[in-house]
Amino acid sequence: MTTIITNDATTLHTALTAPLSYAIVADAEGKKDKDVSATFTIENPAKGTHITFKIDRPAGFKTMLVSMMTGSDNETSYEYVGSMNRGLFIKKTDKDISANASTKLNAVRWYMIELGKAIKGENSRIGAVNLHHSGACACCGRKLTNPESLSTGIGPICGARL
């Protein structure tokens, strides 16, 4: 199941950086950190295209690892492209990546830049695309079922902590 996250820039930023926020919350609460993973799809309705990418933050990591879906299996067909910080800046890996992943990385970077503009109240083209998520909490990976959680991408327990 996937669902559209609201186009509110602050909510989008919170959802996209939730795996990193989880580490900060766990640290503050003296809890053991854990691996966190979230999957998102950017849809361009005008072009009828979409790009799926995954954000992984292994326990103890202070950045998020970004992978692009480049094959047909939405569980396993991902290629690592670089790391992302809370400022939504994606630093490309020094390793070679496929042309397919490179094209998708450019599109996701564009999205993050446009989202950054929207957060600052600048003119942004973010409204041209929709962001869907996998129906799992971006913090802890639990399945989301209530409408409010489905619109934010974050479950009620994690949402209360962020």
Single out the residue of 19, 82, 153, 155 in contact with Zn ion (rule: CB under 5 A).
155
Q: How far is the CB of 34 from Zn ion (least distance, A)?
A: 11
Residue 126: CB minimum distance to Zn ion, A: 25
Question: Helix/strand/coil (H, E, C) string of the chain?
Answer: CCEECCCCHHHHHHHHHHHHHHHHHHHHCCCCCCCEEEEEEEEECCCCEEEEEEEEECCCCCCEEEEEECCCCCCCCEEEEEEECCCCCEEECCCCCCHHHHHHHHHHHHHHHHHHHHHCCCCCCHHHCEEEECCECCCCCCECCCHHHHHHCCCHHHHHHC
- Work out whether 140 is an interface residue with Zn ion (CB under 5 A): yes
Is residue 137 within the footprint of Zn ion (CB under 5 A)? Answer: yes
Site string for Zn ion, 90-129 (x = CB under 5 A): ----------------------------------------
Does position 139 bind Zn ion by CB under 5 A?
yes
The residue ranges that bind Zn ion (CB under 5 A) are: 137, 139-140, 155, 158
